[in-house]
Amino acid sequence: MDAFFASVEQRDNPELRGKPVLVGGSPKGRGVVAAASYESRVFGCRSAMPMRTAVRLCPHAEIVRPRFSRYREVSSQVMSIFRDVSPLVEPLSVDEAFIDVSHRVREGAMPAELGQWIRERVTRETELTVSCGVATSKSVAKIASDQDKPDGLTVVAPGTEAAFLAPLSISDLWGVGPKTAERLRGAGIETVGDLSERPLTWLIDRFGSRGEWFWKLARGLDDRDVSVERETKSISSETTFAEDVGSESRLSAVAAEQAGSVAKRLVEQGFRARTVQIKLRLSDFTTFTRQRTLSSPTSDAATIERTALSLLREQLSPVRKFRLIGVGVLGLEQRPVASQLSMFDESGAPAVEPPQSTARRERQRVVDDAVRELNEKFGGDIVHFGADASSPRESP
């Protein structure tokens, strides 16, 4: 998808159309650009750039806070269109996917026509544009999809992969990040073609097993299948503060809200989690995680919040301030349709009065369902669980 978050915002709000739009956090703090519209890119703005820098480059840009629930909703619509082309769809992210159309080609369909059909249908049904790369491998198709944005179609015919890749910048190669690109350029390698001419042993000596991977990709060699089943291993929510925070009440309030968001996504995706984790980054950028495994898997918002807050409190001290906090869950498993009642509650504590505990859990489920329905109806996370009474929230 082309500038997905920004394009959705421009579509949903006609006043933003044709204007430079930056989706992300506030420029007054540590906000980062999540997406930059093409109108803002001509000024040098791009995703992952500090919002403060982007605003300096394009002072008249419209800044929009992200609406991730809305983007997931539109993504589901787009992915459904992809699956009408082929059931073999592997999402890479909310706005990008691989589609294996080999069986359609064997049946006589032309790859370029399939790409054009996808583009036309996505635009017709969503009013958004998508750029397609068509090739015999995942890595070449991915690179091709970036060559003619926005609303582009690039076809790399079988046997021409190496020639297509050769003139491209080394940073275009999949897996070559800024630091690796810097090392390669230091060795005189500027293009993918330059890399393909180096001996395999040279690359392995410098990059180990990754060297062989780069060597193959530079020649267009990639035999990985499109993987339809991509296992979800974790779900998390993070917040970076505009200023370092040491207040227990404020940190607890944010963690509680994050726990509610994580629990909501667990339920939406049909999972329960065995482990709750918090992620913390200190003011000096030291980053660490702490986690706790529950006695039984859960998707209960109150249990996740209670565990996260307990982990958080263990890391607080008068001299510590944090620039980032996150709550996540690990050890995911599909939630069964029905489960046997346990003599322990979901946090592992004994249920001293089973009938009362059962009723409490049922009331909690009713509350969880009501919160989800309100948030789905009105968008975003307008309703969430408060912190424990022992940790009152600060006024906003």
50, 68, 83, 212 from 305: Cα distances, Å = 30, 21, 36, 45
- According to DSSP, residue 187 is labeled T
Of 90, 96, 107, 113, the catalytic one is 96
| Residue 245 to residue 345: CA distance in whole angstroms | 33
Q: Which residues pair with 33 in a beta bridge?
A: 24
Evaluate whether 134 touches 144 at the Cβ level (below 8 Å). Answer: yes
Whether the CB-CB separation of 137 and 174 falls below 8 Å is answered with no
Return the closest-CA partner of residue 247 out of 307, 326, 316, 315.
Answer: 316
- Residue 192 CA, chain-centre distance (Å), reads 28
Q: How far apart are CA 32 and CA 117, in angstroms?
A: 35
Q: What DSSP string runs through 116-149?
A: HHHHHHHHHHHS----EEE-SSHHHHHHHHTTT-
User: What token pair was written down for 230?
Assistant: 């991509």
CB neighbourhood size of 130 (10 A): 28
Q: Is 212 a catalytic residue?
A: no
Active-site amino acid positions: 96
